Structure 1
Amino acid sequence: MDYELVQLNKKRVAGIRIRTDNNDANMSNQIGRAWQRFFGEGIFASISSKKNDKTIGLYTNYENGVSWKYDVMICCEVEDNAIMPAQVEVETIGEGKYAKFVVKGHVQKAVQEFWMKLWAMDLDRKYSCDFEEYQAEGDMENGEIHFYISLNEKK
């Protein structure tokens, strides 16, 4: 898979969080329910200080790479000084070096295929903040997703 090395500034994001791991047979369902909750319960709409209309799937707080538990946040980028509704959590995506992948196609299938291919790659991953940034909502058949995978800084 082709990717571009990019340097990102920190981002403040707000949304909902679940804790899961790749060995949990219900992991995909848990993540799917979190996405449904984010939109279905009006959480996305309740965040008034969005920087844009893009939605982010954030993976962070890894216990041991992808071998153990990690947090998944369904969120969006927000202004630094924003006040959030009660059910909304805030997290910071750290600045640093990321591998950026651009994937197009049926959203659910494209996301699953991306992660399967990524796990087979030999990237020097940092396991701090990895995220999917959905470029446009609504078109599940022809979506565009930007994936950012945190990398260790070379000395």
Structure 2
Amino acid sequence: MEVKWREVAPFSVCGLQVRTCNADEQQADSARIGPMWERFFVEGLFDSIGQRQSDSFVYGVYSNYESDASGHFDVTVGVAVGEGDADYPLVRIEGGEYLAFSAKGPMPEVVIQTWGLIWAYFEDNPTIRRRYATDFEVYTGADSVSVYIGVQASDELSRSSN
């Protein structure tokens, strides 16, 4: 897995949205993210969300964090838009410093594995702190994903060690 520092300009994503927490996602009867992704693809929402930017990828956005990785948060599955679509929730990705974790492999297993590696990365690097504002997944191909994790700007000095 490749990890790189990235500066991200703010942008908006519009699509389906659920509120969940990691504990709920560990149980099949309370998991909400997988069924939302399934609905996104079954209903063909990539092509039907209004105002979609022509060069948009598919995004999974994590926002509105209650606290940290143990609290509730919103997940939005959608596309980059110039403006919102009245039929779907809109989330604005904060601009700023992000760590991008890129991986390739079969979906959704590679995404689940990447998140496990992300949690381990932050445990192993306690001087780099997550912002818990907006994080997002970018699906750049059928078997490739990059997960962007917002980090606090004060971590700038840590870049030299990565």
TM superposition score normalised by structure 2: 0.83
Is the CA contact (8 Å cut-off) linking 2:14 and 2:84 kept in structure 1?
no
Q: Which deviations, in whole Å up to 9, do the C-alpha atoms of 1:35-88 show, x marking residues without a partner?
A: 111122233221132222410011111111111101111011111xx35142x1
Give the paired residue count.
Answer: 147
* Bigger proportion of residues as helix: 2
- Equivalent residue number for residue 158 of structure 2: none
Q: Trace 1:130-149 onto structure 2 (pairs within 5 A).
A: 130-136=135-141, 139=142, 143-149=143-149
Classify 1:26/1:71 alpha carbon distance in 2 versus 1 (closer, same or farther; 3 Å). farther
> Which amino acid in 2 is paired with 1:76?
V
Q: Tell me what 1:39 maps to.
A: 41
Instruction: State yes or no: 1:125 paired with 2:130.
Output: yes
- Candidates 59, 62, 70, aligned match of 1:56: 59
- Equivalent pairs: percent with the same residue? 31
Does structure 1 retain, via aligned residues, the 8 Å contact 2:84–2:90? Answer: no
User: Against the structure 1 CA distance between its residues 152 and 28, is the aligned structure 2 distance closer, same or farther, given a 3 Å change threshold?
Assistant: farther
1:46 partner amino acid: S
Structure 1 residue 4 corresponds to structure 2 residue 4: yes
Report runs of 4+ in structure 1 exceeding 6 Å deviation.
Answer: none
Give the equivalent residue in structure 2 for 1:115. Answer: 115
**Compared with structure 1, are the counterparts of its residues 36 and 152 closer, same or farther at alpha carbon in structure 2 (3 Å cutoff)?**
same
Query: TM (normalized to structure 1)?
Result: 0.86
- Cα shift at 1:92: 0.4
Give the one of 56, 63, 76 matched to 2:79.
Answer: 76
In structure 2, runs of 5+ residues without a counterpart are: 123-127, 156-162
Gaps of at least 5 residues in structure 1 are none
CA RMSD for the aligned pairs?
A: 1.9
**Contact 2:2–2:103 (CA under 8 A) maintained in structure 1:** no
How far, CA to CA, are the matches of 1:119 and 1:63 in structure 2? 17
- Indicate the larger mover: 3-12 or 45-54: 45-54
